[in-house]
Amino acid sequence: MKSNVLPWLAVFLAVTSLLRGAEPTVQSVTTRDLALVYSVDAAHRLMFRHFGPKLAHEAELARAKTPAVSDVRSMRHWEAYPAYGRAEVYSPALQVTHADGSLVTELVFAQRKTLPAPEGVTHTVFVLRDAVQPLTAELHLEAYAQENVFAQWVEVSHSEKGPIAIGSIFSGFLPSAARKYFLSHFHGAWSSEMTLSEEELKPGVKIIESQRGVRITQQDNPSFLLALDQPATEETGEIIGGALAWSGNFRLSFQVDEWGQLRTLAGLNPFVSELKLAPGEPFVSPKFIFTYSPAGRGLVSRRLHDWARRYALADGFTPRSIVLNSWEGAYFKFDEATLTGMIDGAAQLGVETFVLDDGWFGNKHPRDSAEAGLGDWQTNIKKLPRGLNYLADYAESKGMKFGLWIEPEMVNPRSELAERHPEWIVQSPGREKIAMRNQWLLDLGNPAVQEFVWQMVDRLLTEHPKIAYLKWDANRHVSQPGTTALPADRQSSFWTAYVRGLYSVYAKIRAKYPQIILQVCASGGGRVDFGALAYHHEFWASDNTDALSRLTIQYGTNLIYPPIATAAHVSTSPNHQTGNVTPLKFRFDVAMTGRLGLELQPKDMDAAEQEFARAAIATYKRIRPLLAQGDLYRMHSPYEPGGWVSQMLVAKDRTQAAVFVFSTQAHRRGVVPTLRLRGLDPAKRYKVTELNRLAPAKGAGAFWGNGQTFTGEYLTEIGLEANIGKIYTSAVFLLEAVP
Ligand code: GLA
């Protein structure tokens, strides 16, 4: 009943208000605690009014006057979705060159619609039409009630006399009026992804973007945290968190205008991306995901994690299998015996899935290094004479599942595929094809390439039915862009065509093989975004497996993306990348804050290390439901001075928690961290047990109260004093509510 009546009521209200013409109507979209409020003004414009806590008296917003259409900008004068036209003087959300050459668009509110949505979600559409041309911009809003998250995107279509050209089309526009604005965003490089960068926004425009087409999150991530009035803290302050769900060129733009107001735009990067649209051909932008917290960035993270686990991650609440990946343990140098030996070692440790990384394919051009073979997805018979099924059966005989690495978007010049299909390679006519990591990029915007990739994956999975896990890598970005699949006047659609083509292949794989665990990887964390994640179970956060570096990388990553999706592997010491030397316990404790795995040759561990690893893996199996279903609370940030990092995972019913603490520098004897715990029920009593202790486990370990029971109040107000302080020491505690 409800869903039938509401849309008509909304239409009725909108239409009657339009007929009356003068009074603005309030249009709100709400979640459990938040509201996004618009109003339709006397000139029929859809105006932005409020984003933040739900208002008890939102009708009052109808009283506010908006300036006349002819006015220059003034305070709190924001269209919900500003198009270039009228008095707009800032970067608009939408710029269209119409079929008649006109550069101007004036969007007028036409209708509010409600579309069917899954339970817990409302899907509202504000239909906006150009005042002159037959062009429609539908502003879509999904409100996720329990998670307090919104998704916004736009669909443009028209019936003009010829094609139109879209110069820019952002997914969302969010204005704010505060005294100051502090932006946190994520910057980095290969091996240092998701490094947190924080700054106060000053007058002018701050842009975070990628124009690399592929592997876009290696340097900057399409997500941000915006603190209003004062810098963000974990538990205080008003924060807006946002992320674009898109694996291609993006732009986040933050402009402090002459009124001291902030205009935030999130969407596709307009860089060489003009979109030609024929009459009747709609264009749908990616989704912009956003939330608000009145209580610091911890709550933003928890809201985004809950949303992602339910709506943007495969099987988001299901505990994950523990993986051993062959890469750092074998690189390209292996034969069958190397791998069965690794499987033996992994099985003895309690690992559940063995993943064979790069190097298993290519015969005419064997993949013995990064120089050849990409594109030729046949098993190398010299290295693996009995094929992949032999390995999968072998893993199964040891109680383990089998997984495989692929890099389907790529081709080495030295490959049979490059010889056969040069036209599939991204290229600009007559110009050199530039190789990166000795490889070229296949044009996923081309339906023939999509079909090739799909067929390749489908055949791989049909011929090897025991493959239970796929790691999909992508080790370069776009250069010399160009596509043979689009006509000359549509080359600038290459960027979106590529990502849509990639997503269409992902979608086919998910639909036919929903049980297969999918990891997204792009030279480490080069494809960590909610667009790609929606088709996957997890991402490889970084090729940097050094535990110390990982504390920072994972901290940044988990500000936005959920820990359960963050693949974190224990590797050797000294670390292959950094040369850093850290104890095995420290490496395990760090990896246990994400989806635990191993990235080493088990037989290189001595007996004591193997015993510790076996026990740690068994421990992880106890706590991994917390990673899947619990809430993340951070206490000490790696960015704070002091040399401590700490965080915890708390079950939703607050009956269990796991606490992690790390010492990242040498502290004076007696200097220890006090962990004032978070998320607990003050009235409950918790038994504190230290996990992952070094054998032989004697005495109290890292906490004088180990094995004792404390109230949630004590643990929150007084705190738990962890007796660690030497460099690279760490502790893990399990808290269990007792009756
Ligand atoms: C990329 C990935 C690594 C590994 C190698 C293999 O760098 O990020 O994890 O798979 O490729 O070549």
Strands 566-570 and 538-540, how do they pair?
parallel
- Which pLDDT score is estimated for 42? 87
Report the residue count for the chain.
739
Q: Residue 1: which pLDDT band, with cuts at 50, 70 and 90?
A: very low
The predicted pLDDT at position 70 comes to 56
Which tokens sit at 602?
Answer: 């088990």
Residue 221 has pLDDT above 90, yes or no: yes
| 433 CA to centre of ligand 1 in angstroms | 22
Q: Which of 432, 445, 440 is nearest to 490 (CA)?
A: 445
The preferred substitution site among 358, 371, 437, 576 for testing ligand 1, maximizing ligand atoms within 8 Å of CB, is 358
Question: What span, in angstroms and rounded, lies between the C-alpha atoms of 319 and 565?
Answer: 10
pLDDT in tens, 616-647: 999 999 999 999 999 999 999 999 999 999 99
Nearest CA to ligand 1 atom 1: 523
DSSP states along 585-639: HHHHHHHTTSEEEE-S-GGGS-HHHHHHHHHHHHHHHHHHHHHHHSEEEEEE-TT
What integer is the mean pLDDT of 527-556?
98
Q: How far is the CA of 613 from the centre of ligand 1 (A)?
A: 24
Tell me the whole-structure pTM to 2 decimals.
0.96
Whether residue 475 has its Cβ less than 6 Å from ligand 1: yes
Using the predicted structure, report yes or no on whether residue 738 has a pLDDT greater than 50. Answer: yes
Q: Which of 43-47, 60-64, 376-380 has the lowest mean pLDDT?
A: 60-64
Q: Which protein residue's CA is at the shortest distance from atom 7 of ligand 1?
A: 523
DSSP string across 129-195: EESSSSEEEEEEEEEETTTTEEEEEEEEEE--SS-EEEEEEEEEEEEE--S-EEEEEEE--TTSTTE
Residue 83 pLDDT:
97
**Ligand 1 atom at minimum distance from 543 CA:** 8
Helix H or strand E encompassing 205? strand 204-210
Please work out whether the CB of residue 267 comes within 6 Å of at least one atom of ligand 1: no
Taking only the tens place, the pLDDT of each residue in 590-611 is: 999 999 999 999 999 999 999 9
For residue 180, report the phi and psi dihedrals to the nearest 5 degrees. Answer: -145, 160
Note the pLDDT tens digit of each residue in 655-705. Answer: 999 999 999 999 999 999 999 999 999 999 999 999 999 876 678 889 999
Tokens of 550: 């990982």
The burial class, CB within 10 Å (0-12 / 13-18 / 19+), for 179 is exposed
- Residues 532-558, mean pLDDT to the nearest whole number: 98
Average pLDDT of the residues in 402-416: 98
Residue-wise pLDDT for 94-133, tens only, equals 999 999 999 999 999 999 999 999 999 999 999 999 999 9
CB of 283 closer than 6 A to ligand 1? no
CA-wise closest residue to 264 among 234, 302, 225, 298: 225
Does position 182 have pLDDT exceeding 80, yes or no? yes
Residue-wise pLDDT for 419-462, tens only, equals 999 999 999 999 999 999 999 999 999 999 999 999 999 999 99
What fold characterizes domain 323-627?
Answer: TIM Barrel (3.20.20)
Provide, rounded to the nearest whole percent, the portion of the chain with pLDDT above 70: 95
Q: List, for residues 346-399, the tens digit of each pLDDT value.
A: 999 999 999 999 999 999 999 999 999 999 999 999 999 999 999 999 999 999
pLDDT band of residue 18 (cuts 50, 70, 90) is very low
What pLDDT sits at residue 454? 98
pLDDT for residue 48: 94
Atom of ligand 1 nearest to the CA of 471: 10
Question: Six-digit token pair at 500?
Answer: 């849509």
Can you give the pLDDT at residue 24? 61
169 pairs with which residues across the strands?
A: 94
Give Cα separations from 121 to 154, 265, 561 (angstroms).
18, 24, 20
For residue 657, list its beta bridge partners: 650, 735
Which pLDDT score, from 0 to 100, does residue 696 have?
Answer: 65
pLDDT value at residue 62:
76
Residues 559 and 571: beta-carbon distance below 8 Å: no
Cβ contact 652:627 at 8 Å: no
Backbone angles phi, psi at 700, to 5 degrees: -75, -15
Q: Give the per-residue pLDDT at 259.
A: 87
**What CATH number labels 633-738?**
2.60.40.1180
Average pLDDT over residues 82-91: 91
Look at ligand 1, atom 4, and give the residue with the nearest C-alpha.
327
Q: With a cut of 80, say whether residue 2 has pLDDT above it.
A: no
Give 188 Cα–ligand 1 centroid separation in angstroms.
17
Could you give the CA distance from residue 495 to residue 485 in angstroms, rounded to a whole number?
12
Quote the ligand 1 centre to 228 CA distance (angstroms): 39
Ligand 1 within 6 A of 330 CB? no
- What is residue 393's predicted lDDT score, i.e. its pLDDT? 98
Across the chain, mean pLDDT equals 95
Cα 507 from Cα 530, distance rounded (Å): 14
Q: What is the CA radius of gyration of the chain?
A: 27
For residue 418, pLDDT over 60 is answered with yes
The per-residue pLDDT for range 240-271, each reduced to its tens digit, is 999 999 999 999 999 999 889 999 999 999 99
**Is any ligand 1 atom within 6 A of the Cβ of residue 523?**
yes
Site to probe by mutation for ligand 1, drawn from 438, 521, 545 as the one with most ligand atoms within 8 Å of Cβ, is: 521
User: Which pLDDT score, from 0 to 100, does residue 699 have?
Assistant: 80
> 193, exposed or middle or buried, with CB in 10 Å at 0-12, 13-18, 19+?
buried
Cα(132)–Cα(129) distance, integer angstroms: 9
Q: Is the CB of 407 under 6 A from ligand 1?
A: no
pLDDT surpassing 80 at residue 72: no
Check if 357 has its Cβ closer than 6 Å to any atom of ligand 1: yes
Number of H helices, E strands in the chain: 13, 37
* Residue that is written with structure tokens 């849509």 in the block: 500
Q: Is the CB of 78 under 6 A from ligand 1?
A: no
106 C-beta closer than 6 A to ligand 1: no
| Tokens (6 digits) for 369 | 């290094």
| CATH of region 2-311, choose from 3.90.79.10, 3.40.50.11780, 2.70.98.60, 3.40.640.10 | 2.70.98.60
Mean pLDDT of 534-555: 98
Residue whose CA lies nearest to ligand 1 atom number 11: 523
Annotated domain spans of the chain = 2-311, 323-627, 633-738
Q: How far is the CA of 349 from the centre of ligand 1 (A)?
A: 24
* Ligand 1 neighbourhood includes 193 CB (under 6 angstroms): no
Tell me the catalytic residues.
Answer: 473, 543
